[in-house]
Amino acid sequence: MESLDALVSLAKRRGFIYQGSEIYGGLAGTWDYGPLGVALKKNIENLWWKRFVSDREDMYGMDAAILMHPKVWESSGHVSGFSDPLVECEKCKRRFRADHIEDTEKCPECGGRLGEARQFNMMFKTSVGAMEDSASTVYLRPETAGGMFVNFKNVIDSFHPKLPFGLAQIGKAFRNEITPRDFIFRVRELEQMEIEYFVRPESWKEHFDFFLKEQHDFLADVGLSKEKLHIVDVPEADRAHYSKHSVDTEFDFPFGQKELLGLAYRTDFDLKSHSEGSGTELSYFDEETKERFVPHVIEPTFGLGRLMLAVLSDAYCEDELGGEKRVYLAFKPAVAPVKVAVFPLLKNKPELVAKAREVYGALKKEFGAVVFDDNGNIGKRYRRQDEIGTPWCVTIDFDTLGEGGDAVLNTVTVRDRDTGEQKRVAINELAAMFKVALSA
């Protein structure tokens, strides 16, 4: 797709994503997911959890607290180093990220002079308890990783996993971005799907390569076009302070090729720093070799919102069908928020409605994400489903009741979203047909 505007407006109109606090004028860098946005997000999360956690024997799921002891972020280096260079215009007072603008001396908005760049820490602060002083300051976590490192010992003590093993979690993180922008690409409240995978130091590269491939296999699970993905080695100067080797996967967003997700070799930086900071030894004892050492970490990290934006923009299509222009979202069926829509041809024919309700009930029980729609003519109903990316529409007509010219009792019309083609299918074959297509 060419520009983001059409997608932003579709996402709002159809209930995927709304501006955060919109009726109060919005709060920059925040977005609210509506019913279809939540459904899309959950489908992506579930595919991720299945591939990276439940289908494996070596992964342990986590859901750590967002508020953590402030020393966590001192040890991790975020208090001293999680910052971006900020410049402020002396005339209009607007602020910019110095590494995101071409001319660091001239304001891109008003042409005024920009001041000296200074480091701006991106962590949000709040305070715990009734007293607001420096002793009560805590941070909203800037990445989910911290919650996993501080639970490394707990999981070892409860489960005695053998190396290599990983901790995985999906959760919110907060970054006070200087300039949130590009819809849900750069936000202040984000969601991450992260893994900290603990390995023997000498085997880091093998696991790093494995996870790079897994990341791309997962992107195929959610249906992203391969040709829009780019693997980029991150040069040392751009790497996070904890990383010795990083590979980002970038995606062709409507506003250019930008980071979608990352993979980092965090070495033993975090376990060592948290051992020192907390005074609790975070190490691993190998029962076979009888050695104790600090494992190294491979971290595959995914921004859930960014991934949703990639999925939405990749799926956005405009074409002409039956002489009419239309917009549709060509989601892979596995991520589509609604899998099937069921229509009675006419809403004032009780026999049609009753049969359609029966088919709807059976499919809903099987697939959950099934809707019933009897509002407006069939063409309009198709357009509505196209816009939300429903792969199949099922229409119950007079043939279904055995009353058509060439009666084909108990068959329905199944219409394909992408081609608009329709075919007759027996009601008792519908579920099996959709099941096969959904697992493709």
Q: Is residue 78 close enough to count as binding ligand ATP by CB under 6 A?
A: no
Please tell me the distance from the alpha carbon of residue 11 to that of residue 5, in angstroms, as a whole number.
10
Which of 39, 219, 261, 341 forms a contact with ligand ATP (CB under 6 A)? 261
From residue 342, alpha-carbon distances to 112, 173, 320, 363, 371 in Å are 58, 39, 23, 9, 6
Three-state SS at 178: coil
Separation between Cα atoms, residue 182 and residue 7, nearest integer Å: 11
The span from the CA of 336 to the CA of 398, in Å, is: 29
Q: How far is the CB of 173 from ligand ATP (least distance, A)?
A: 7
95 close to 179: Cβ distance less than 8 angstroms: yes
| Site track for ligand ATP across 290-319, x = CB under 6 A | -----------x-x-xx-------------
Burial degree of 218 (CB within 10 A; 0-12, 13-18, 19+): buried
Closer CB to ligand ATP, 310 or 370, in the complex: 310
Looking up tokens 């930008």, which residue turns up? 258
Q: 182 to 201, contacts with ligand ATP by CB under 6 A?
A: 186-187, 190, 192
Q: How far apart are CA 206 and CA 163, in angstroms?
A: 14
Using CB positions, name the residue nearest to ligand ATP.
303
Shortest CB 371 distance to ligand ATP, Å: 30
If the CB atoms of residues 234 and 437 are measured against ligand ATP, the closer one turns out to be: 234
Q: Which of 259, 268, 374, 387 binds ligand ATP (CB under 6 A)?
A: 259
Residue whose CB is less far from ligand ATP, 305 or 333: 305
Per-residue interface string for the shown chain with ligand ATP, residues 412-431, x marking contact by CB under 6 A:
--------------------
Relative to beta strand 340-344, strand 370-372 is: parallel
Q: Which is nearer to ligand ATP, 305 or 389 (CB)?
A: 305
64 binds ligand ATP (CB under 6 A): no
Residue pair 328/317 in contact (Cβ under 8 Å)? The answer is yes
Q: Provide, rounded to whole angstroms, the least separation between the CB of residue 315 and ligand ATP.
A: 18
Q: Which of 189, 146, 161, 169 is nearest to 30 (CA)?
A: 189
Residue number with CB closer to ligand ATP (176 or 410): 176
* Single-letter residue type at 162: K
Q: Interface with ligand ATP by CB under 6 A: which residues?
A: 143, 175, 177, 186-187, 190, 192, 259, 261-262, 301, 303, 305-306
